[in-house]
Amino acid sequence: MRISFTLNGEPQNRQVNPFDKATSILAEQCGQESVKTSCAIGRCGACTILVDGKSANACLLIAAKMDGTDVVTAEGLGARADAIIDRLRQNGAIQCGYCAPGLLISLVALLERAPDGDKLERQELETVLAGNLCRCSGYTALRKAILALSS
Amino acid sequence: MNAVTGLEEKLRGTFRYLAEGQPEGTLHGALLTSPLAHATIRRLDVSAARSLNGVHAVVTAADVPSDFLMGTAILDRPPLARAKVRFQGEPIAAVAAETKAIADAALALIAFELEPLPIVSAPRDALDEGAAKLHDSGNLCSDFIYSRGDARADFEDCAHVIDHTLTTPRQVPAAMELEGGICIPSPTGIELRAATHSPFYTRSLIASMLGLPDKEVRVIGSPIGGSYGGKEEIHIQPVLALLAWTARRPVRLVLERSQSMAFATTRHPFEIALKIGCDRAGRLLALTADVLVDNGAYASFGPEVLDTGMECIQSAYAFKSVSLRGRLAYTNNGVGGAFRGFGALQTLTAIELAVDILARKASIDPLAFRRINLAGANDPGPLGQAIIPQPELSKVADALSALPVWRDETPSQRYLSGTGYALVRKGEGFAGGGPNGASGVLALTLDGQVTFQSSLVEMGQGLESTVRNILLASFDLGDADICCATGSSDAGADSGPTSASRGTQIALRLIRAGKMPFLEKLYVGAAEILQVPMDALRLGPGGFYQRMAPQNKPDLSLSDLAASAGEIVTRIDIPGIETTQAGVKVHTLFTACAARAGVRIDRWTGQVVCTGLDLLPACGPPISPLAFHGQMTGAGAQALGFCLTEHQPYEEGTVMARNFDSYFIPTIADVPDINVHPVTWLAPDDPVGIRGAGEIGLNAAAPAIANAVASALDAAPTHLPVRPEWVLGVLARQGRTP
Ligand code: FES
Ligand code: FES
């Protein structure tokens, strides 16, 4: 079947098979290597993308479901992510970086959702980010960076 | 300064890992793995798979030279199973095809018959007389014996003696990036892009397998998307290289998580039986240890892991007498291998638990008890070897005592809380006989950059940023003038493995050793071009300045120097820091670290939560503070997993946890804020000046967490990870269940 969607603002028209996952279409056909596959069962968050503004695990998404949606990957975040990246840099929150694009998407979704001036609670941050595994960092610098950013 | 290079690219997803960005026409590689844990291969017929349209290579053990085996001390592992399979998930054959669908179809066409053999599922059974043998040499892969003094007699003099046995988990490295890579053949050789800690070692191994000269194999081993030792092992590179060399086409082969959970080497489960005793004053008199290790199916790093574990089993304490025995047994439970902590983590956790039990029995505060027994600054090493003196040990103990007191958890009906301590040391680099020496290059490249070239690899630990900091501190240059080239066999100099916490130490010693000879070449070149004496010149940001006429701009830029003088290269070789003692492999350089952990235990559910963790590593002044901090906090989280959540169980050789729905690495919600308090003091005459940060945090954090559980429950864990059922059982026995 053919599907059309926008990817980072660009219209796409792709031939997909019924069993294709969004991960393989985005990474292999659309060259979005930011969409990584690590667990492929929705546990690690390495494949996180935005679909119509909400974060989603691409590995759990049937490619056909992207039809008619607006998809954003870490590669397409542009200036939306500048402030977050700055904080993560200052705190040294990223190491090998394999988790990083998925993490960045989750953070953008989380911080853009929080109404202006609303302070992000530690528990909310942890609940949302528990779906983004990072094996390197121990999360300490990440938590510090983001809680400070939102306050 | 950044903790790691490429941070923004990593976050935005434009950073390229080695298995990404394959050339046009790259084939899809796939593996046929064994469904059985122990079996004879009766038949293996790949002819139908080979003749399928779109298949370009099908390889089996028949395509590998019959004497080619892998390993370190013991060579016993074929890259593809030969005649026998020894663990579930062992690769039997591999295919390279034009699409994934064709590769899968080809796998299904491979006809094979396995005849089951009895499964060796526990190390104790493995060493039984009548056990099925995994290898012709028998199931004892290696052993370790050491004694000093007369432990039996000294136990007689003890006022307090305790026994404790601890079984540790099979922890999986589980890097987010899976094992895999891309291999691109040329008419005469291959380029292999796949994670390794040792590009040169991998190169010669692959070259010998393919019958190629070393120079025809190019290995690019970094950047790595996480390793922790897991990718120090030779993983899928030989199969990948074989596929590409056979197909004469580029091949990409990346494992799936479920394959990786069976195939990747894991932390060895240890069963550690300890007996220790002290006199009335709390002085440790005697230690006996009997250690049995589940090695899995192939030797890999097992013998070195056992040796390191046994060497570190006395932690940072001075025992009067010790009697140690360790055995490493082959089983059909996957393959054990290198993993941050490398055997020491297991034995340090056991001894630190035992020390706390004994201190409690002797009614001495655990910190005071540790102080009484701390090894002296100039004492010989744990196995009697000469070591670099460790006067910092007492500073670490001081810092641990000086930590601000925990805010007290509000006592409640439902929760118990506990605080645990640990004070440990671990050998750094390789034990005597290992590749401790290293080479590197300082070069002024044609584009005018002072570049440190090495085959050390970047895996997220921040090696590149650390090297940049060392270069900036060594040469009066600007950020734009320096460069760090890592991670491949192109380096022209083999720096040895990036492992055993040695990366930073090696880089620092290489740059220090090369600095003067390199500078001299630069000054000679500059003086000749500018036609002034050398002492009239000064190297500064951008190039050379004439001392007499201070300028904003260099009189000779580095690129002009390179343009006239050509590339200026200094090759550097440094010897290892090592000693060998008859029969026993020992370390010379030790790193100390202390830790304090807090836990909260839910009496209703038996669940243990780590509520706080302080780490006090004595590594000297951090060269790259953010990277250093990250190494410690990352290690803390892995220690938490080791103690509380992570274990790969095997049942009769069957892998039980195949993905992150049954294998639990800690999430952000599980890990508390980890506080790092570096103890930066090292002796002024310390010959190295720093210690590596890679492993030591883990080795202190795990025993501290285990001790916190013991203090909360008044019962020391016997198995890690601590299971809620065990906690509830202890509470029931104590009559403390709500
Ligand atoms: S790959 Fe999608 S959540 Fe892990
Ligand atoms: S930085 Fe390596 S997994 Fe997160």
Any idea which architecture A78-149 has in CATH? Answer: Orthogonal Bundle (1.10)
Binding site membership of A148 for ligand 2 (Cβ less than 6 Å): no
Token pair listed for B26: 């790259």
- CB neighbours (10 Å) of residue B493? 16
B108 Cα to chain A: minimum distance (Å): 19
Cα B326 from Cα B127, distance rounded (Å) = 13
Token pair listed for A58: 């691409």
Cα A110 from Cα A129, distance rounded (Å) = 9
Peptide bond into B79 cis (omega under 30): no
CB B465 within 8 A of CB B630: no
Contacts of B17 in chain A (CB under 8 A): 98
Q: Which of B1, B2, B12 to mutate to test the interface with A (most CBs of A within 10 A)?
A: B12
Domain ranges of chain A: 2-76, 78-149
ipTM above 0.90, yes or no: yes
Binding site membership of B281 for ligand 2 (Cβ less than 6 Å): no
Cα B56 from Cα B243, distance rounded (Å) = 9
CA B177 to ligand 2: nearest atom: 3
Q: Which of A26, A36, A95, A129 to mutate to test the interface with B (most CBs of B within 10 A)?
A: A95
Backbone angles phi, psi at B510, to 5 degrees: -65, -45
Binding site membership of A38 for ligand 2 (Cβ less than 6 Å): no
Q: Which of A33, A94, A133 sits opposite B7 (nearest CB)?
A: A94
> Which of B685, B126, B101 lies closest to B378, judged by CA?
B685
B660 Cα to chain A: minimum distance (Å): 6
Contacts for B15 with CB less than 8 Å, ≥ 6 apart: A97, B6, B9, B223
Q: What is the predicted pLDDT for the residue at B549?
A: 74
Token pair listed for B734: 């104590």
CA–centroid distance, residue A38 to ligand 1 (Å): 6
Which of A36, A38, A95 gets mutated to test ligand 2 (max ligand atoms within 8 A of its CB)?
A95
> Which residues surround ligand 1 with Cβ inside 6 Å?
A 37-40, 42-47, 57, 59
Q: What is the predicted pLDDT for the residue at B432?
A: 67
Give all strands of the β-sheet with B556-557 in edge-to-edge order: B537-540, B543-546, B556-557
Inter-chain residue contact A136 with B226, CB threshold 8 Å? yes
Q: Determine the longest span between alpha carbons in chain B, in angstroms.
A: 89
Cα A61 from Cα B728, distance rounded (Å) = 40
pLDDT digits (tens, 9 = 90+) for A39-74: 999 999 999 999 999 999 999 999 999 999 999 999
CA–centroid distance, residue B108 to ligand 2 (Å): 35
What is the SS3 string spanning A133-151?
CCCCCCCHHHHHHHHHHHC
Peptide bond into B187 cis (omega under 30): no
Is the pTM higher than 0.80? yes
Inter-chain residue contact A94 with B11, CB threshold 8 Å? yes
In which residue are the tokens 């009484």 written? B372
CB B423 within 8 A of CB B586: no
> Which of B275, B276, B295, B294 lies closest to B284, judged by CA?
B276
Q: What is the predicted pLDDT for the residue at B673?
A: 96
pLDDT digits (tens, 9 = 90+) for A22-43: 999 999 999 999 999 999 999 9
DSSP, collapsed to helix, strand or coil, labels residue B187 as coil
Token pair listed for A38: 């690590």
Which of A24, A33, A39 gets mutated to test ligand 1 (max ligand atoms within 8 A of its CB)?
A39
Cβ neighbourhood burial of B110 (10 Å; 0-12, 13-18, 19+): buried
Dihedral, B79, B81, B83, B88 alpha carbons, nearest 10: 150
Q: Which of A39, A130, A141 sits opposite B630 (nearest CB)?
A: A141
Cα B60 from Cα B81, distance rounded (Å) = 8
> Which of B55, B63, B64 lies closest to B95, judged by CA?
B55
Contacts for B602 with CB less than 8 Å, ≥ 6 apart: B414, B415, B608, B609
CA–centroid distance, residue B428 to ligand 2 (Å): 24
Q: Which of B1, B9, B11 to mutate to test the interface with A (most CBs of A within 10 A)?
A: B11
Which CATH class for the A2-76 domain? Answer: alpha beta
| Residue-range domains of chain B with CATH | 3-117+173-263 (3.90.1170.50), 364-427+584-738 (3.30.365.10), 438-574 (3.30.365.10)
Q: What is the predicted pLDDT for the residue at B87?
A: 98
CA A36 to ligand 1: nearest atom: 1
Partnered with residue A50 across adjacent β-strands are: A55, A72
Cα B561 from Cα A135, distance rounded (Å) = 44
Which of B10, B176, B227, B459 gets mutated to test ligand 2 (max ligand atoms within 8 A of its CB)?
B176
Q: What is the mean pLDDT of chain A?
A: 95
DSSP, collapsed to helix, strand or coil, labels residue B556 as strand
CA–centroid distance, residue A42 to ligand 1 (Å): 4
Cα B315 from Cα B374, distance rounded (Å) = 9
Q: Determine the longest span between alpha carbons in chain A, in angstroms.
A: 47
In which residue are the tokens 């004879």 written? B40
CA–centroid distance, residue A88 to ligand 2 (Å): 13
Cα B736 from Cα B738, distance rounded (Å) = 6
A29 Cα to chain B: minimum distance (Å): 12
Q: What is the predicted pLDDT for the residue at B112?
A: 97
Determine if residue B490 is left, alpha or beta; phi over 0 gives left, psi from -120 to 50 gives alpha, anything else beta.
Answer: alpha
Q: What is the mean pLDDT of each run of 10 residues along chain B (738 residues)?
A: 88 97 95 98 98 98 96 95 98 98 98 98 96 97 97 98 98 98 98 96 97 97 96 95 98 98 98 98 98 98 96 98 98 97 98 98 98 97 93 97 80 90 93 76 95 94 93 95 92 86 91 96 96 95 88 92 95 79 76 97 96 97 95 98 98 98 98 97 92 95 98 97 98 91
Cβ neighbourhood burial of B715 (10 Å; 0-12, 13-18, 19+): middle
What is the SS3 string spanning B237-305?
HHHHHHHHHHHCCCEEEECCHHHHHHHCCECCCEEEEEEEEECCCCCEEEEEEEEEEEEECCCCCHHHH
